[in-house]
Amino acid sequence: MKLLSRNKQRTHTMHDRLVWQAASLLLAYPDENLSRRLDTVDDLLGHLDEPARKLLGQTAERLRSYETLNAAIDYVETFDMRRRATMYLTYWTAGDTRNRGREMLAFANVYRDAGVEPPGGEAPDYLPVVLEFAATVDPEAGRRVLVEHRTPIDVLGKALVDAQSPYRHVVAAVCMTLPAATDQDLRRAQRLAQAGPPAEAVGLQPFTLTVPPKRGSA
């Protein structure tokens, strides 16, 4: 029985890792490598169960229907023009404050503890980076980080649903790999969405990182 339980757990973990990898690829900025990433997502979908396969497939299908330029424009409008839809997780837990620097350092330390360096071209709390880490490096540490930041992910998911964004299906699939949100989680997410991120205390210089980030012209 214990062996069956361990095998079931390994299968469950592998399925979640495949979801996280596909989600990371779908949530990345749609550059000239978009078509190649979508081919990889299609391969991953063949190993997934429903409803994750359907959710991720809906987003992949929509992205395939776009020209790369249009996909980039939609991405910028979705994630860069709506603060509630930012994928920088510490923005919702620390805002533009000095605490955010410490929280991002904590993300970087999780990566280093797993034997990898934080990405050089992106912030360590960027959701696609966290998902790739969870999928390919350390699934247990990655799951723990995702669970700890469930509320920002819920805020993001709600913003994407409100905008009827095709990316909403990706976040929904990610949430299905995490423990169900409690009533307290849902209330906290609702308060956070209404009140916005924490602000710097009076008299302190804020930690400055543009959120959403400024991208080059699509």
Encoded amino acid at 207, one letter: F
Task: Reply yes or no on whether the pLDDT at 185 is more than 80.
Answer: no
* Cα–Cα distance list, 123 to 8, 129, 193, 200, 213 (Å): 34, 8, 22, 20, 10
Cis peptide upstream of residue 212 (ω within 30 degrees of 0): yes
Instruction: Specify the higher pLDDT residue, 211 or 49.
Output: 49
Do the domain assignments include residue 102?
A: yes
Do the domain assignments include residue 109?
A: yes
CB 4 within 8 A of CB 37: no
- Domain of residue 174 covers 1-190
Do the domain assignments include residue 9?
A: yes
Do the domain assignments include residue 196?
A: no
- pLDDT tier for residue 102 given thresholds of 50, 70 and 90: confident
Do the domain assignments include residue 195?
A: no
Do the domain assignments include residue 205?
A: no
What's the number of domains the chain is made of?
1
User: What local confidence, expressed as pLDDT, does residue 120 receive?
Assistant: 86
- DSSP character at residue 89: T
Q: What is the CATH number of the domain that holds 117?
A: 1.10.3480
Do the domain assignments include residue 150?
A: yes
Do the domain assignments include residue 73?
A: yes
Tens of pLDDT, residues 115-138: 999 988 899 999 999 999 999 999
> Would the CA dihedral through 34, 116, 17, 123 be positive or negative?
negative
